[in-house]
Every structure is written in C-alpha cells, then in structure tokens.
Chains A and B, each alone.
Chain A
Amino acid sequence: MGGLIYVLFGISVVFNGLGVIALIRFPDVYTRLHGATKCTTFGSIFTALGIIAYGFARGGAAHETLAIHTIVALVALLVTNPTGSHAIARAAHRSGVKPKGAVVDRLEGRS
C-alpha cells in the first residue's frame, strides 16, 4: 500500500511540474491554457487519489473522514477547473487576443 501511495504522489508532482513548464514555455494564451488546465487538473487528481488511498489505508474514523472530504474536494476541482479555463479563453478572444500563428480562426469577426 505504501508503494502505491508513493507512486501516486510521484505522478502528481511530475504532471503538475509539466503543467507549470508548459505555462512558461508555450507561445500564447490559448496554448498556455492547454498545458496549465490539463496537466494541473490531472496532477491534482493524483494528489487527491494518493490522500484518499492513505486515508482508507490508515483506517479509523478520523482518517476515513479525511478521505471522504478529499473526494468532495476532488469533485469540486474536476467541475470548476475546465469551466474556469473556458471562461478565460472566451474572455481572451473577446478582449482581442489573437491565437499566435493560427492556421484557421473560425471565431474571427464574431463577438
């Protein structure tokens, strides 16, 4: 059980780091949103899974409560994160930021 938790934490740290690197390296706001949203959501899911596994493996009322509350936090994160990124992307396009080097832009001219 301990090994599984270490692996889950390892995956979460790697993917959160990848998301931040994508945030720094990509050229414009839309591609940055790609990296930041996907990777940090995936990484945080694994953090939460690690804590859930820890809580149920430790046992006892206090640790099970911890695991259940973490499940609720995971659901909140999973619902709010993509919706927030959608809002930022739409706001960016409406405030006039063009996708850099875009091959095609079907949203051009609509508002």
Chain B
Amino acid sequence: MIIDPITFFVVGACFVLFMVFSLIRVGLGPTTPDRVVGLDTMNTLVVATMIVLGAAFDEVVFIDVAIIYALLSFVGTLYVARYLEGGL
C-alpha cells in the first residue's frame, strides 16, 4: 500500500463539505445566475469526489460515470444559460 486508504475518504469528505457550502450560495441567491454558479461549482466537486471514490473502492466504473457526468452537467449548464438569455 503506497498511501493510507483512509486518505481517499478524508479528501472525499472535504469535498462533500465544500458542496454543502456551495449549496448555501444556491439557497441565498440573490439572482438566478448566482444560483447557477453555485450548481456549476457543485458539479465540478461531484466529478472530483467520484474520481477519488473510484480510487478508494478500486472501481473503474466510478470514473467512467464521472466522465459522463462532467459532459452531461456541461450540457445542463449550457441549457440553463440559454434559458436565462431568453432563447428557449
């Protein structure tokens, strides 16, 4: 074992804590774009967490899901941005 496997869980727990903080921004607002920024930050953190957990459980599938999640959340962000511009 190169590093203590508990490290992965500690790093993942930190990221989950950061997600809760960005959830505060999603709740506070004050404008809709602010909330979207909070969600976008959460998406990046979810991808990072998935990668870390994939290494923790030795599951390559988690990382494949993270790739797809990154691409789909990007499409979601573009969709919301398009909606805010009024082009939908």
Interface residues of A (CB under 8 A from B): 1-2, 5-6, 9, 12-13, 16-17, 19-21, 23-24, 29, 32-33, 36-37, 40-41, 43-44, 47-48, 51, 54-55, 57-58, 62-63, 65-66, 69-70, 72-73, 76-77, 80-81, 83-85, 87-88, 90-92, 94-95, 97
Interface residues of B (CB under 8 A from A): 2-3, 7, 11, 14-15, 18, 21-22, 24-25, 31-34, 36-38, 40-41, 44-45, 47-48, 51-52, 54-55, 58, 60, 63-64, 66-67, 70-71, 73-74, 77-78, 80-86
Q: For the complex, what is the distance from the CA of A40 to the CA of B73, rounded to whole Å? A: 15
**Known contacts A23-B38, A33-B37, A95-B85; is-contact A48 B21 (Cβ 8 Å):** no
Q: For the complex, what is the distance from the CA of A44 to the CA of B69, rounded to whole Å? A: 14
Nearest-Cβ distance from residue A4 to partner chain B, whole angstroms: 10
